[in-house]
A = this chain, B = another copy of it.
Amino acid sequence: MVSDEAASIQRLIDKDQIIDLVHEYSYCVDHRLYDEVVELFTEDCVVDYGPGIAPVRSRASLREMFRHPGGGFTATSHHNANVLVTFDGADRGSVRTSVYAWHKRSDGVTPRVWGYYHDAVVRLPEGWRIAHRQLRVLGVEDWQMEMHPAVDADGE
């Protein structure tokens, strides 16, 4: 019973840290804190924003991608809701996070994306980190790039 309770507490603490991790991503991206963004990922992370861009492989490549942010956005606002964490052992988890992302281009157009981040997270000595992230999309507005669909065309 004591060990059950300790395990439950550890699970709550881990979940809390993982939820903070996905929130920190959005905060840092929106505030252009790119050095901080990439610290949220593992060194050999794979980040797949859609078939329109080759998946980024490694933290260094992710930092490079943020050096030249695509789309020429003058502002972004990423709102995470519905964060769902499931664990696969003590040190690995899967996270599904709904995101409503508003962007502003220099020409005033405001592309929007509604979708989900699907993350694999791992516990490293320094804390939980994102090892794999894929964005899957439910809908877009004024957004041209091809995206991974969250729901297949046949409705599954």
Interface size class of A (residues with CB under 8 A): 35 or more
Chain B proximity mask over A39-56: 1 for CB below 8 Å, otherwise 0 = 000000000000000000
Closest to A84 in B: B23
Contacts of A151 in B (CB 8 A): 30-32, 75
A1-57 interface (Cβ within 8 A of B): 5-6, 8-9, 12-13, 15-16, 20, 23-24, 26-27, 30-32
Q: Known contacts A32-B156, A114-B102; is A23 also within 8 Å of B82 by CB?
A: yes
Enumerate 15 A-B pairs (CB-CB under 8 Å) in ascending A order.
A5-B9, A9-B9, A12-B13, A20-B84, A24-B84, A26-B82, A27-B98, A75-B139, A77-B114, A78-B98, A79-B79, A79-B82, A80-B98, A104-B139, A110-B141
